Amino acid sequence: MFRKSLNTAATESRMWVYFLSACGGGAALLYVLYSWLIPAAVQYSGWWALLWHDVIVERMLDALTGSTRPQRLLRAVQKNATQGDPQSVINAIDHFCRHKEWAMNVGDEKGSILDSVVSEVNPSTALELGTYCGYSTVRIARLLPPGSQLITLEFNPAYAAVAKQVIGWAGLQDKVQLVEGPSGDLIPQMKDLFGVQSFDFVFLDHWKDRYLPDAKLLEECSLLRKGSVLLADNVICPGTPEYLEYIRNSPRYESRYFKSHLEYTKVEDGLEKSVFLG
């Protein structure tokens, strides 16, 4: 009887060891899949990259942390960037998005193209459609000449709240006017609200189905002058086919495509630079 009890105890002990080993192995496999294999696999597919990063991972982390991706990005800025140093804010966000959690900023690769266009135009008046967390706002504002004006529009109040703090952390709040609301309502009010006669530079990085109607609205409201530059992000992934068809075939624009990659991936994407000819 005693020997039988010992055998039963030994069997139960082995079962627990097997169970714990299986749990540990499963957890390790899930970690490898989550941290390395799936992110590597989706690097070359735009649809899968957006589904994985922008839907599955974001929702899972939101549930686990009780916070949002913009809030987590803001904490990374506050932890790793130097107040009043725009470049350190950019670096902190890029590091967060490459090594911690992907986010749909214009990113470092396309960001360098954005930098070069802003520096070339050297705008005194600039408009950004789609602020998100303020990454591209910081990139643009840090390059503007003294006395210039950057107006950035954001539809989502939660994004706008984070962007204000990111812009403030970079020390650029005096150069930026962040306005909450739909672009279709705000663009016709630009002259009355801000006294802007026209924009030298416009960066489109909001809802992709708004690119074309907002570009036409800028024309209708006479907010573009001869030589004004429109720079549109994500024209390949997720893609803006109607906007590209219009901007490339309109005699009112001279347009050029800058090939690059979807932020922090190997998926082809790019920026479309379009000069308004009047």
- Could you tell me which residues are annotated as the binding site for substrate? 208, 234, 263
Contact 49, 43 (CB under 8 A): yes
Catalytic residue status for 208: yes
CB-count burial class (<10 Å; 0-12, 13-18, 19+) for 65: exposed
Catalytic residue status for 263: yes
Residue of 214, 233, 269, 272 with catalytic role: 233
For residue 160, what are the contacts with CB-CB under 8 A and spacing of at least 6?
131, 154, 178, 180
**Bind-site residues:** 106, 136, 154, 205, 208, 233-234, 263
Catalytic residue status for 220: no
Q: How far apart are CA 172 and CA 163, in angstroms?
A: 11
Residue of 234, 269, 272, 273 with catalytic role: 234
Residue of 205, 214, 269, 272 with catalytic role: 205
Catalytic residue status for 101: no
Residue of 214, 263, 269, 272 with catalytic role: 263
CA-closest candidate to residue 143, choices 159, 156, 128, 158: 128
Contact 237, 253 (CB under 8 A): no
Catalytic residue status for 200: no
Residue of 208, 269, 272, 273 with catalytic role: 208
Residues designated as active site: 205, 208, 233-234, 263
